[in-house]
A and B are shown apart, each in its own frame.
Chain A
Amino acid sequence: MQSRFLQEHKEALRLLLGRLSREYRYVSILATDVGGTRYQVQKQESSVEDSFWTERGFVVRVHNGFGYSEYSANRLPGPTTAEREAWAQELTVSVDAVVQAAKSSGRSGRKTPLIEEEALTAVYGDTGHSPETDCEAVIRRLTQLKDRAVILSAPLVDIRVVYEEVRVCKLFLSAKRDLEQSYRWSQGYLVPIYRRGEVTRYYLQSFSGLKGEELIGEMENSLENTLETGALLLDAVQVEPGEYEVILSPEVAGLVAHEAFGHGVETDMFVKKRARAREYLGKAVASPGVTMHDGARAAGEVASYFFDDEGTPGQDTVIIRKGLLEQGISDLLSALKLGLPPTGNGRRESFERKAYARMTNTFFASGTDRLEEMIASCRHGYLLEKYTSGMEDPKNWGIQCVILLGREIREGKLTDKVVSPVIMTGYVPDLLRSISMVSGDLQLKGSGMCGKGYKEYAKTSTGGPYLKAKARLG
């Protein structure tokens, strides 16, 4: 379903594009209308609010003579010609002021080439009418989940049952492009919180996809297992620091893909010479069994779109093929500076923020091994199942993953011992070169969000098969 808001204002945005094109050699406008609702039910309270991802506005980009300047705003004109003319005039003055500030900054700008686009006009996504979400049914089902959890789990002090759905509508206009897209995604969480004496523990089971309310059905089916696994954390112990054989679940494998060679091949980092991966293109960075993808068209998950926030179509990029680093992921401006083709990875947190080279759906490809064989092959190690966060270090190839739940493996068998939390650290090539087994599974999840450094959040999905490797745990 395309956005009525964007359709109503498309003519005004075209008028602004025309005005600015008299002055600037390249002009583009990205307009967004993203709306959604987050429903949360807890033991003693509930809430309904607009999604964090809600946004409505536009960003203008112009070539200022040596580089690019941008202006973001969210005020749009009324329907009359006079209102539109006055608005376009006012916006032109605002954009000119930003360009003037760049020119008078007293610091020579880096020369960024002019964007040369091929003509493309398209409307992507679901153009029909989507049914309205039944708010009452959603709240009722989430409340039932909470009530069942309270009955099923004695040590539970609270549980957060969350469902969120978002509809994304975007319009991209430039001299040669007129693109529209619309799609819907959803995510859900079960977060049981346990307490015994002074010990508090929580677990997180997440759900996501290009879906609607059917996601709640997945949450309902997973409740018992989530509560049972989460309660194990009350007896979790700290891991003895050291290097271990580890089996990474698809979820943790996805985190490694994301932090290790996702951030590490964002080509705006190549431009700044902040990514060591630039020196390793064509070289071995992982064991031969490792292939890794990123792309808006590489999988059907929450980061699957038709064009990025710079009007470049999404694609499936193979980053690592059979252990060799093949290529990076690029936004439009970094690609121009590096003389590379853009890969459709230019993304913004919202229309209010700058576009950077960002990941989309990032995952390791599946192999042929079986999880049972992988466990059987470990003398002493851990099956790392869940994580809470990760942090990249593209320059020095360090990695930090905070693991929420690990299960001990001894002599080829899982024991009852559970460790939590675990800090997994290491040198990325060492970790990836140590991958010795890759399972035939492939699962992606997109319930988290990704920051660029410590800000600029974007919706991404990650995943992979089970991977056997060696890692340092603490």
Chain B
Amino acid sequence: MTANYLDMLTAELRRREKVSAWRIRTVDLETRELFYIRRDLDMNRGKAVRRLLLTVYHDYFSEGREWRGAAEVRLHPSSDRREVSAAVERALVAAALVRNSPHPLPMGGTAFKPAVRPSKGLGSGDLASWQDPVSRAVFAEDHLDGGGLNSCEIFLEREQVRILNSEDVDVRFDRSRVLIELIADWQVSGREEVELYRELRSDEVDEKVIRREVNELLRHTRDRAQAEPLSARDSRTAPAVLLGGEAVAEYFSYYLAQSAAENVYRGISSLEVGHSLTGRKQKKGLTVRLLPDLPGSSASSPYDADGTPLQPVTLFEEGILLRYWGPVRFCHYLGCEPTGRLPDIEVAAAAGSFSAAELRGVPHLEIVSFSDFQCDPLTGDFGGEIRLAYLGRGDERLPVTGGSISGNVLHVQEAMAVSSEQASHDNFRGPLLLSLEGVSVTPASG
């Protein structure tokens, strides 16, 4: 059916003179999903769907200059010729009204360098065969007194992607994802029960990683049950705020947004090549790399959505921005080499940087769980409500909860420091700890 359908669609596109170029992206997605309450299976689901996305480009001349309009439509796998024809016509009408500066598409043919990606993930067998190993790994650490896993959702996904365009690009690749959403709860005698949330994402089933993450979630939930509300006095006596886990990735997302070609083109970012992202404290700057593949990442992909083959790119070296990054279109506008939209990020401190022990060696507030830590990619404002943090004073490490932090990357980056130890979270590998000063800390009470 796929071949016939795509033949019908490409024939439809080629027969229309006004179609200047096109891109088709198809995804065949298969899933198995398990929904647990405690250790009981509450529901299970399966899915087999095909997604088709068509982009039609129309080149035209108006008001003394050239334009390349584009419109995207989603097609249905069961559509007949009449419906496909109507969808192409609808896209073409819209594309003729869209005003974008001309830009090329990725080129296939002899110039095309196919990307290579090692085969990993969930393989090609029955997805259902992974249900029991994953479930066993999730519940293996759930045997403690006082608390445990309240509920869990497991998604096993496998997709086959194909990207074609009018410039002879035709690439295919397979991807797998394991998504596990965990809720743990814990009660200490005489106190209210508390819970914490964690989401694991990976491209493969690694029993050790799942067990380690569940174990850490349970320990954190236990500590939250014992935590005291963050007081005004405590918030004042911890000059350094340490972030760990996914908050570190969220913080660095600001730099990725500011160095993205599309934001520079739009005037939203004025970050210039040669600019430094680190200040006086982190003397040896950070190196930021964008990658097509990172062990464990659920986002890894050999090609971006345009079909551009992806290669590792060093974005910042020793803290200095080397280049902008982005898809063919926006890099063309800026006159820089396109990198494609790379899915994985690696942030590394130079040798001789701070150790985690050094960063924890001063009075600090180390926040390990937020309600929802956010860093605005345009403004650099960041903040979030604290669900669990540790107050570090000398040898003391006291769990606290409640209150919030807020700040702005531009105001705190001068005194930013990172640990040389690394940690991975899905598509991000970076410092285990990020130390910030000058962050506004609002207590839970007082």
**B73: which A residues are within 8 A, CB to CB?**
49-50
Q: How many chain B residues touch the partner (CB < 8 A)?
A: 77
CB nearest to A355 among chain B residues: B43
Q: When A46-B98, A193-B378 are in contact, do A398 and B49 touch as well, CB less than 8 Å?
A: no
Min Cβ gap A130→B in Å is 15
CB of A391 within 8 A of CB of B372, answer: yes
CB of B70 within 8 A of CB of A352, answer: no
Min Cβ gap B342→A in Å is 22
CB nearest to B271 among chain A residues: A198
**A121: which B residues are within 8 A, CB to CB?**
none
Q: When A389-B372, A421-B406 are in contact, do A105 and B379 touch as well, CB less than 8 Å?
A: no
Give the segment of A96-104, A320-328, A367-375, A379-387 that binds chain B.
A96-104
Q: When A48-B97, A200-B268, A425-B385 are in contact, do A352 and B372 touch as well, CB less than 8 Å?
A: no
Interface membership of A76, Cβ < 8 A: yes
Interface membership of A110, Cβ < 8 A: yes
Distance of A5 Cα from B82 Cα, bound (Å):
13
Partner of B98, one of A139, A354, A393: A139
Interface membership of B267, Cβ < 8 A: yes
Q: Mark A336-353, 1 if CB is under 8 A from B, else 0.
A: 000000000000000010
**A274: which B residues are within 8 A, CB to CB?**
150-151, 183, 185, 195
Partner of B35, one of A139, A354, A388: A354
A residues 31-77 in Cβ contact with B at 8 Å: 37, 42-50, 54, 56-57, 67-77
Min Cβ gap A16→B in Å is 14
Which of B194, B383, B410 gathers the greatest number of chain A CB atoms within 10 Å? B383
CB of A421 within 8 A of CB of B383, answer: yes
Interface membership of B237, Cβ < 8 A: no
B residues 276-316 in Cβ contact with A at 8 Å: none
Min Cβ gap A181→B in Å is 20
B residues 35-76 in Cβ contact with A at 8 Å: 35-37, 39-50, 70-74, 76
CB of A97 within 8 A of CB of B267, answer: no
Interface membership of B20, Cβ < 8 A: no
CB of B265 within 8 A of CB of A44, answer: yes
Give the segment of B115-123, B158-166, B212-220, B437-445 that binds chain A.
B437-445
CB of B44 within 8 A of CB of A69, answer: yes
**B70: which A residues are within 8 A, CB to CB?**
47
CB of A395 within 8 A of CB of B403, answer: no
Q: Mark B75-107, 1 if CB is under 8 A from A, else 0.
A: 011100000000000000111011111000000
Partner of A105, one of B100, B131, B383, B440: B131
Distance of A399 Cα from B404 Cα, bound (Å):
11
Distance of A399 Cα from B371 Cα, bound (Å):
8
Min Cβ gap A265→B in Å is 17
CB of A354 within 8 A of CB of B45, answer: yes
Interface membership of B132, Cβ < 8 A: yes
Q: When A101-B32, A101-B131, A200-B268 are in contact, do A73 and B41 touch as well, CB less than 8 Å?
A: no
Interface membership of A108, Cβ < 8 A: yes
Min Cβ gap A268→B in Å is 9
CB nearest to A139 among chain B residues: B97
Q: How many chain A residues touch the partner (CB < 8 A)?
A: 80
Q: Mark B359-399, 1 if CB is under 8 A from A, else 0.
A: 00000000000011010101111011101000000000000
CB nearest to A9 among chain B residues: B78
Interface membership of B181, Cβ < 8 A: yes
Interface membership of B140, Cβ < 8 A: no
CB nearest to A333 among chain B residues: B43
Interface membership of A157, Cβ < 8 A: yes
**A473: which B residues are within 8 A, CB to CB?**
442
Q: When A97-B128, A102-B44, A425-B442 are in contact, do A354 and B33 touch as well, CB less than 8 Å?
A: yes
Interface membership of B343, Cβ < 8 A: no
Interface membership of B145, Cβ < 8 A: no
Interface membership of A94, Cβ < 8 A: yes
Q: When A400-B385, A423-B384, A474-B442 are in contact, do A45 and B100 touch as well, CB less than 8 Å?
A: yes
CB of B442 within 8 A of CB of A101, answer: no
Q: When A47-B70, A97-B46, A423-B384 are in contact, do A109 and B40 touch as well, CB less than 8 Å?
A: yes
Q: Can you list 29 A-B pairs with a CB-CB distance of less than 8 A?
A: A37-B94, A44-B101, A46-B100, A47-B72, A47-B100, A49-B71, A71-B46, A101-B46, A105-B135, A112-B42, A136-B97, A158-B268, A198-B270, A200-B268, A200-B378, A241-B440, A241-B442, A242-B442, A272-B183, A274-B195, A333-B43, A352-B49, A398-B385, A423-B384, A423-B385, A423-B442, A425-B385, A425-B402, A474-B404
Given contacts A193-B266, A423-B405, 11 further A-B contacts (CB under 8 A): A57-B49, A67-B43, A69-B46, A74-B50, A94-B46, A136-B97, A195-B270, A421-B376, A421-B381, A423-B406, A472-B442
